[in-house]
Chains A and B, each alone.
Chain A
Amino acid sequence: AQSVTQLGSHVSVSEGALVLLRCNYSSSVPPYLFWYVQYPNQGLQLLLKYTSAATLVKGINGFEAEFKKSETSFHLTKPSAHMSDAAEYFCAVNTGNQFYFGTGTSLTVIP
């Protein structure tokens, strides 16, 4: 079955530090992968997506993610955390019939 796994339900970083949120997927074929951000009591907003073009994908708010087939990973990074990055982040995969979401990673940014 298609699934995504997010390691670490809670991540804390200092303001200005590197943000790394991990996502691994299980699949025998390259899926289409997405990262979403959710602020409290709001819907999900697309950060970036991988659709078989460049393996390094740049998104909004300075985030980027690298698709690594050999590691079945699609980790999300940002060089320097900002207070406004504090939110819940979800990795998702689209198989064509359904979307599968990870359980989410809550990012806390410490001033």
Chain B
Amino acid sequence: DGGITQSPKYLFRKEGQNVTLSCEQNLNHDAMYWYRQDPGQGLRLIYYSQIVNDFQKGDIAEGYSVSREKKESFPLTVTSAQKNPTAFYLCASSIIGDRYEQYFGPGTRLTVT
């Protein structure tokens, strides 16, 4: 079955540590996205990528970094510079073009204490 996988589902880290969230897709989509979701709020775009080895900052990129070395993979690193990292993180992918929808992974809930 085609889809997007995110691992792990729940992640716990101590403050000051960097942590990397995994996102893999086998849909052959060119575009991939990372969103952050906080309780009662919508989705905020962190980074997106439309081609391998290229990515753009979204609305809240500070304290985050990404890489896109393979079409299938778009890992997100939450660095110690991110002031409020505890959140629900969603990865998505899509075909490039304005008529296409995004497909979402199941999300990773990150808790930093």
Task: Answer yes or no: B53 CB below 8 A from chain A CBs.
Answer: no
Interface centre among B45, B88, B99, B106 (most CB of A within 10 A): B99
Contact indicator B105/A90 (Cβ below 8 Å): no
Contact indicator A42/B100 (Cβ below 8 Å): no
Range of interface residues on chain A?
20 to 34
Closest to B100 in A: A94
Partner of A45, one of B40, B43, B45, B104: B104
**Contacts A31-B98, A45-B104, A94-B100; A102 near B42 (Cβ below 8 A):** yes
A24 CB, min distance to chain B CBs, angstroms: 15
**Contacts A98-B48, A99-B33; A41 near B101 (Cβ below 8 A):** no
Closest to A106 in B: B40
Closest to A104 in B: B42
Task: Answer yes or no: B85 CB below 8 A from chain A CBs.
Answer: no
Please measure, in the bound complex, the distance between the C-alpha atom of A94 and the C-alpha atom of B3, giving whole angstroms. 20
Contact indicator A103/B107 (Cβ below 8 Å): no
Task: Answer yes or no: B78 CB below 8 A from chain A CBs.
Answer: no
**Contacts A102-B42, A103-B41; A49 near B109 (Cβ below 8 A):** no
Q: Which residues of A contact B101 (CB under 8 A)?
A: 34, 46, 49, 94
Top 8 nearest A-B pairs by Cβ distance? A96-B98, A43-B104, A103-B42, A51-B99, A44-B104, A101-B43, A43-B106, A32-B99
- A residues bordering B, Cβ < 8 Å? 9, 31-32, 34, 36, 41-46, 49, 51-52, 90, 92, 94-96, 98-99, 101-104
Please measure, in the bound complex, the distance between the C-alpha atom of A75 and the C-alpha atom of B105, giving whole angstroms. 25
Q: Which of B27-56 contact A (CB under 8 A)?
A: 33, 40-43, 45, 48
B78 CB, min distance to chain A CBs, angstroms: 18
Please measure, in the bound complex, the distance between the C-alpha atom of A45 and the C-alpha atom of B104, giving whole angstroms. 7
